[in-house]
Every structure is written in structure tokens, then in C-alpha cells.
């Protein structure tokens, strides 16, 4: 039976749990081979790898930090070596370090910007050579409704997601004639491990 993404190869960052895990499973259910990254949750990554393989697709997990350009460049090399190519990149890696600005540390601001926003630059920059060479490719960035409307206590997170939305718009224009598509999906509140520690007042503002 033919499936929508038969024999395509997707690379998804931060997919060992949460939204990324759901994305990986959805791709696999549609016949797509899946490479995905994790930063620390190795056991969950291995479990997901097994689940994806049961769906009759090729799958492999990679320990990699998308906030590092060096790691991103090496990741693309490793995935191409193992899968021969990449058709779709999903920039999903993200964290939240919520607090009011008066209580937010510089480290919490920088960590969120680097993990959520700089990672999109790193991964897109690293994969572009491959996409330009093969004259096709798709980049899907995971934004958030918070990047569109803001939310108290999430100025760092909102800034990172608004940056992703703006970067997607700009890069989509840059690559429009290169047969490389860029899209940004900005969901509302989704229950996941990352959102477990969000204050109830913040959750209420997002639902």
C-alpha cells in the first residue's frame, strides 16, 4: 500500500519525547524513514527507535546538540552517511525556562534562545549544502502561538519562537527559486513533559 512519504528521509531534532516524538511517529506511519536527535534522554531515544522500526521504516537516533553548529554539521554528515540523503528537516528542539523578566537570569535567557532559535540557524545552515546540491528539500520549523501573541513569564521563549517565525519567512524567500520549501507550524498549548512545569496561570493564557 502506497503511503504519502514512502522512502522519504526525515531528520527531526529533539524527538525522543513530547511533540518531536509525535512528529517522528506520524512520519513513520506515512512510510518515512526517520533519523532523530536527543541530547540526554538516551533510553527514551532507544525506545522510540524500536517503535519506529516496528512501523517498517529505517530509524536511527543520534546524540547531538542542535545549539552547537559543530554538532549540527557533524550530524548532517552522519545522517547522510547512514541514510544516503535527507529530504525533510524538522527543527523541533526546544526548551522553556519561564520566569518574569525581573527574576530571569541571563543564563536562562541565553539557553532558551540558543536551544530554540540558534538551533534553527545551525541546522538550516548545515543542511542547505545538501539541499542545494540535490536541488530539493523541505524545512519545517516548530514555532508557537506564544511567538505570535506573547505570554507573561515567557519573554525568552516568546522571543525565540517569534525569531523562528521571522527566520522561516526570510529563508522561504531566499530559497523560493531553489526548490527548497520552508514552513513554520505554531501550535497552541500541548501537554508534554516540557510543559509540566509551566505555571497554571501561563497554561490558562495559552488555552
What's 114's DSSP letter?
I
Question: Which of the following is catalytic: 38, 62, 157, 175?
Answer: 157
User: 163: which 3 cell numbers?
Assistant: 525569531
Cβ-contact 13, 91 below 8 angstroms: yes
**200 Cβ neighbours under 8 A, 6+ residues apart:** none
Residues belonging to the chain? 207
Catalytic residue status for 157: yes
Taking the C-alpha atoms of residue 35 and residue 75, their distance in angstroms, rounded to an integer, is 10
Taking the C-alpha atoms of residue 161 and residue 150, their distance in angstroms, rounded to an integer, is 10
User: 101: which 3 cell numbers?
Assistant: 523578566
- End-to-end Cα spacing for the chain: 38
Query: Which of the residues are catalytic?
Result: 157
Amino acid at each position: 500500500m502506497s503511503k504519502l512519504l514512502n522512502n522519504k528521509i526525515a531528520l527531526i531534532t529533539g524527538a525522543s519525547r513530547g511533540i518531536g516524538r509525535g512528529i517522528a511517529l506520524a512520519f513513520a506511519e506515512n512510510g518515512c524513514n526517520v533519523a532523530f536527535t536527543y541530547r540526554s534522554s538516551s533510553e527514551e531515544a532507544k525506545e522510540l527507535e524500536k517503535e519506529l522500526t516496528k512501523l517498517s521504516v529505517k530509524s536511527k537516533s543520534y546524540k547531538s546538540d542542535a545549539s552547537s553548529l559543530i554538532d549540527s554539521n557533524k550530524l548532517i554528515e552522519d545522517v547522510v552517511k547512514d541514510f544516503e540523503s535527507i529530504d525533510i528537516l524538522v527543527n523541533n528542539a526546544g526548551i522553556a525556562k519561564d520566569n518574569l523578566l525581573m527574576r530571569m537570569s541571563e543564563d536562562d535567557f541565553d539557553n532558551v534562545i540558543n536551544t530554540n532559535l540558534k538551533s534553527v540557524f545551525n541546522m538550516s545552515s548545515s543542511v542547505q549544502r545538501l539541499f542545494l546540491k540535490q536541488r530539493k528539500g523541505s524545512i519545517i520549523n516548530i514555532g508557537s502561538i506564544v511567538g505570535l501573541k506573547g505570554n507573561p513569564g515567557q519573554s525568552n521563549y516568546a522571543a525565540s519562537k517569534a525569531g523562528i517565525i521571522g527566520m522561516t519567512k526570510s529563508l522561504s524567500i531566499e530559497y523560493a527559486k531553489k526548490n527548497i520549501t520552508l514552513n513554520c507550524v505554531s501550535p497552541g498549548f500541548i501537554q508534554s513533559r516540557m510543559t509540566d512545569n509551566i505555571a497554571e496561570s501561563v497554561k490558562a493564557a495559552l488555552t
